[in-house]
Structure 1
């Protein structure tokens, strides 16, 4: 049989002519891609889509009209490859900050660094104090999870937590201890723990390579390179978070109880701070208004009720509704809030760059197709005034209910 590829000009003409009676039959058997005679994959650009009721060709990217919806749903549920360490040769212990009971971006960077140090033989051991709300330890790179429960670890209790870490150190003997060098407690806890076990920690570490670590020094203008110590206090973006593997996150328990330390420190609770006095770069909860906000008095009342720091887009600042020091974006202030609420902000590229490090973004907008909606973790489509008023009423009802319960 000859290997020469034969063409049927009449069949090709019928396939191109949508008014021909046999056009639909030719379309059903038409290939979308095939291997050419020279080994190059060929694609038919006319084979994608369908003919609408008005005779106009449409392309349905959801795949429902082309019979690919099952393929898309199957691809969506594909799980990452499981990384198992049955018998760990050693442990890399990580003590995340767990602000709000969940892993933050700094914590995930730390787990990524620990995963690189553990390799294929070691296991990443995450040590968490008290109750938590995190459900994604497995996708963050945790091989073993140790939760140390007890009321004595709640609030500000660095000395008691050091006792817990010493108990973990005696039982598991980790090769390295990794803590975030942050203001959320990890920096202080790491230094206290290093002093307790007589180790000299490496602080503000931003890179680990070939058995050495590089840390910031000289007010951030110099790098201090030293051999990798046992206790490492790492800065944010010290490594890439784990994203290509799924881990077991098997639970571990302490074999002995944690000794109680002397109650030399009394936690009096958080101090009330005016959100307006917090710098934009340090704020944890920011509510920003944009061109879609028409009632700015209502916007201010909503931020006060929510206890949030006010921000704004460049359009709102240029129009005089907000001061220049409250502008968020590449041309304003880069923010790292845990929760960022964008009210009436369409999402210009400069603004999206400024909120790139925020953990959770909530968008309130009338346009469901704007860029801010695509960036947001939670979107609310509707009038901003009505939504802000509903938020104020919900907060007031919650506080009144709490007062009645206390009485």
Structure 2
């Protein structure tokens, strides 16, 4: 069994935050302290206490198995449950759900909705089609409405606006919140506002009472206006929900949606060269570092995966990659959904640059490097052998898919 210490940033943050409701539960058990008379007192029930007969107290629960590294494992956090049995009103949120999961922008939006809902309102998330998200509860969703149907697949803004109109008629929410993004929320929000004949607040980054503040003048000025019913919020408009978990009760439309003839036909996604995608906008980044010895194999693997290539500063300084491919505080800050680090030890500047990435996969020989500690999935071994196996797995998967389609 591995002795690698797996960090839990969330648990560490709760342990530092004295105002968090779970702060006390995250504190380690105190083994000794000084009494009022200056006498050092010891906890005789603590693990490792040596009694007067010289016998050390042991832990028979199994928590000590694996050595000291296992004792530093993070405690599972159970957040308090927030329930709204009879909502006084609804705050409806339509997340982008890029790749079927909540993005950081979506979580900021849900945090803003939670502020507007308060203790009496409920946050209702409206999701189109199938999704892969399992963390709606910790993101702040009280009610979940999934609009299923092939008519919502792909690029279908007319059908989605038609569905949102039906939701609006049934729930009459106090506010509608959509992300003002290029992933679909910005366009859908403006189309929805035109359908309702309402003027939305766009690029909103702050709400104070009955007033909202949005970006204007190419992002150089702030525009304050009364809070409307339809809000298109920018990224980092609020802090994500972190101190409560929610019920995520499923709800349904009381009436079936009438079929309408769409005027837009989706012809599918257009193939884009991953190398042409800017690093800051890439969703899947395959990054190499000093541990990569076969760069031709590295490029072949990136092409097989369809990923955008990145690199550490060492690889760029050595001339293996261009300067615009450098990831880190001294290069480009990235927000990829998946970031694969091959042969990167994890300097502090590099870890800062990938701090906003959702999932990090590390391939490295050193099981104790900082990148392994940061990663959500780690593969310990020689990078060349792992990359060859990865290419073979991708080809096998694609050949199997072609046979099934035939």
TM-score, normalised with respect to structure 1: 0.85
- Per the TM alignment, residue 41 of structure 1 is displaced from its structure 2 partner at its CA by 8.8
Match of 1:80 in 2: 79
Q: Please tell me whether residue 317 in structure 1 is matched to residue 329 in structure 2.
A: no
Quickly say closer, same or farther: Cα 1:65–1:357, change in 2 above 3 A: closer
1:340 matched to which residue of 2?
A: 339
CA deviations on 1:19-65 (whole Å, 9 max, x unpaired) are xxxxxxxxxxxx93245116999779xx98689xxxxxxxx9x9618
Give the match for residue 242 of structure 2.
243
Aligned twin of 1:176: 175
Give aligned pairs, total: 366
1:265 aligned residue: 264
Q: CA deviation digits over 1:137-173, x for unaligned, max 9?
A: 1111100000111110011000100000000000000
| Contact map agreement 1:275 1:307 (CA 8 A) in 2 | yes
Contact 1:336 1:359 in 2 (8 A): yes
Unaligned runs of 5+ in 1: 1-30, 52-59
Note if 1:102 corresponds to 2:101: yes
Moved more, 263-272 or 378-387: 378-387
Query: Structure 1 residues 72 and 322 mapped into 2: Cα distance closer, same or farther (>3 Å)?
Result: closer
Partners of 1:333 and 1:79 in 2: CA distance: 36
Aligned to 1:221: 220
Aligned to 1:334, the other structure's residue is in SS state: coil
Aligned to 1:129: 128
Shift of 1:269: 0.4
Task: Say which one has the larger Rg.
Answer: 1
Comparing 255-264 with 284-293, which one deviates more in the overlay? 255-264
| Distance change in 2, residues 1:145/1:289 (3 Å) | same
Partner of 1:3: none
Q: Are 1:210 and 2:204 counterparts?
A: no
Most deviating of 298-307 and 386-395: 386-395
Q: Could you give the per-residue CA deviations for residues 334-390 of structure 1, whole angstroms, max 9, x where no partner exists?
A: 111111111110111111111111111111111111111111111111111111111
The CA deviation at 1:260 is: 2.6
Alpha carbons of 1:400 and 1:210: their partners in 2 closer, same or farther (altered >3 Å)? same
CA RMSD for the aligned pairs? 2.7
Distance 1:40 1:323 in 2: 64
Q: Secondary structure at the match of 1:225?
A: strand
- Give distance in 2, aligned partners of 1:142 and 1:40: 51
Deviations 1:166-187 (A, max 9, x none): 0000000000000011111011
Deviation at 1:132, TM superposition (A): 0.8
CA distance 1:38–1:203, change in 2 (3 Å): farther
Aligned counterpart, 2:160: 161
User: CA distance change for structure 1 residues 38 and 268 in 2, over 3 Å: closer, same or farther?
Assistant: farther
Specify the alignment match of 1:396 in structure 2: 395
Q: State the partner residue of 2:22.
A: none
In structure 2, the residue corresponding to 1:178 is in which secondary structure? strand
Residue aligning to 1:12: none
Cα distance in 1, alignment partners of residues 251 and 166 from structure 2: 13
Aligned counterparts of 1:209 and 1:80: Cα–Cα separation in 2: 27
Summarize the Cα distance change of 1:173–1:38 in structure 2 as closer, same or farther, 3 Å threshold. farther
